[in-house]
Structures are given as C-alpha cells and as structure tokens.
Amino acid sequence: MNSLSVGELCGLFCCPPCPGRIAAKLAFLPPEPTYAFIPDPEPGPGASGSRRTSSVRARGEWKLHLTERAEFQYTQRELDTVEVTLAQSSRGNNIGCIYVRCVPKSRFTVLFSHGNAVDLGQMSSFYIGLGTRINCNIFSYDYSGYGVSGGKPSEKDLYADIDAAWHTLRTRYGVNPESIILYGQSIGTVPTVDLASRYECAAVVLHSPLTSGMRVAFPDTKTTYCFDAFPNIEKVSKISSPVLVIHGTEDEVIDFSHGLALFERCPKAVEPLWVEGAGHNDIELYAQYLERLRHFIGHELA
C-alpha cells in the first residue's frame, strides 16, 4: 500500500473522499500481466514449452500461457494440474480463475485471494507448492483489472470478484461450502472477510490482514467512518467459521496491531500465528508458517 502526501492527508480530513477513492489511493497496483488465456477448442496435452513460455490443457475452453516474467518453477507435469476458466461478476467483468488440482482426492479446496502487485501467473508456482504441502487443492482468481480480468480495480469490484469465484467453484466444480477454506493475503483479506461474513465455509485464513483503509493510512484511527474503505474490522465479528490469523510482528506495510485487533474480534478464532521478526512479504519463508497451516487443516478442522 502506498503512503500519502501531506496534502492528501489534509484532504482526507477536510474533504473526505468516497471509499472507492481511498481504496484506489491505498491499495491497487496491478502488474503488467504475466499470463494469458488462449482459446483451446480441442484440449490436449500442453506443449512441452521452453523457459520462455509454457501452456497447460484447460477444461475444454482455455489454456494458460505463462510468460517468462511469471517465473514458473515447476515442470509441464505440474502445470498440467492447472485448469483455467472465466467467470462473470455481477458488475459485468470477466474474471480469470485457475484451479490447481494438487491433491485430486483432497478433502479441502482453498479459495485464495492473493496480495497486491501480483497476478495469477506470478502466483501459480506458489499455489502448486502450497497445495502440495498442505494437502489441499487451490482455486484462485484475479481481481478486476489484474491479469486477464476485465474492468478496473475497486472496492466494490473486489466483493463482486470473489462472489464470482465462489459461485464458479461451487457450481462449475461442484465443491461444497464445508470443503472450502477461504484464504486472504494482505489486500486479499478484504474480499475474504466480506464473503466469510455472508457465507459459512470450512474455515478462514487471514494472512497479514488489515482492519480498514483509514487505519492503515492513519494508525491512530479508532472509529470506522462512513467514507472508510475495506472495513474488515466491522465485518469480521460476523464470521461463523473457524478463523486462523497469521501476521508478522515486524510488518512494515500493515502493522501487526491490525492482525491482533481482528483476532480479538473473531468469535471462533483459533490459536493465531504471530511470526516473530517477519515482515509483510516473507512470512512464507518461516518454518512455522507451513507447520501451523498443516496442523490447522489436518487436525483442528478434522
């Protein structure tokens, strides 16, 4: 998230903008796309590919084309576990979705809302590695304006985007809510909390979450104003599923206090993971990250 200039800070107090403008200032940094969806009228084995590009068989409609900038770390065999599709949001945008079948007979599928400044191409290697290690399939999507997804990013579109992903996972792939774990990272905790406050699911994981946009911009904010964006703090108490909060104690983007505040508001919060010394983008490098996820999914949810 970006810092605000003195003039912008004064403007927020003197002439508060609408939530969408706060969201745009604080949150959205879509990268240049690192992948494309290519029509695939006759699905078949993906091309062997080179280090420059890779392709993958799709579910009868599309195949995933990764550029070198996606930095894919696996072979064509792993890439062939990925299916791609487009979902249409209630706001009229086509939303790119990928389904990584890491463990075909897994009990759980993780609906993953990724962080800022990345797209599905850049996240594909992480999803394969994560799903394999926690024994889950991974379903993910790109926000409006990210990757192949149409439109422009906004707070309202975040909520519509995850709704489209949720209903695609439910209807197209037949995954029941009791088998879906909602996982949000950073800005991805915003649509995750919103959806979890409206639908019951197997569990929720909030990774480096924020309480609200104003509280990120102004750390001393204690009240949720009508013009605040991303008000997770007002929605998290409505989540009826088990919630695991993960946050680094040295997070330089979203202060650790945000994770603590959300944890205290969750009715069914489980033991959180506070990663001592971790920042905003390196929690996954700590051994306790995977250990906690494995125990949560393999034992606490069982």
156: left (phi over 0), alpha (psi -120 to 50) or beta: alpha
Q: Beta-carbon neighbour count of residue 17 at 10 Å? A: 15
Contacts of 174 (CB under 8 A, 6+ apart): none
Q: Per-residue DSSP letters for 153-187?
A: --HHHHHHHHHHHHHHHHHTS---GGGEEEEEEGG
The two beta strands, 82-88 and 35-39, are unpaired
The two beta strands, 62-66 and 54-56, are antiparallel
Distance separating alpha carbons of residues 203 and 200, to the nearest angstrom: 8
Q: Which DSSP letter does residue 222 get?
A: -
Tell me if residue 122 falls in helix, strand or coil.
helix
Q: Residue 243 is encoded by which pair of tokens?
A: 């919630």
AA identity, residue 58: A
Catalytic residue (choose from 144, 186, 208, 241)? 186
- Per-residue CA distances from 40 to 32, 62, 83 (Å): 23, 5, 12
AA identity, residue 233: I
Catalytic residue (choose from 40, 142, 161, 251)? 251
Annotated catalytic, 282?
no
Cross-strand bridge partners of residue 109: 137, 180
Q: Which DSSP letter does residue 66 get?
A: E
Q: Which helix (H) or strand (E) holds 56?
A: strand 54-56
Annotated catalytic, 186?
yes
**Catalytic residue set:** 186, 251, 280
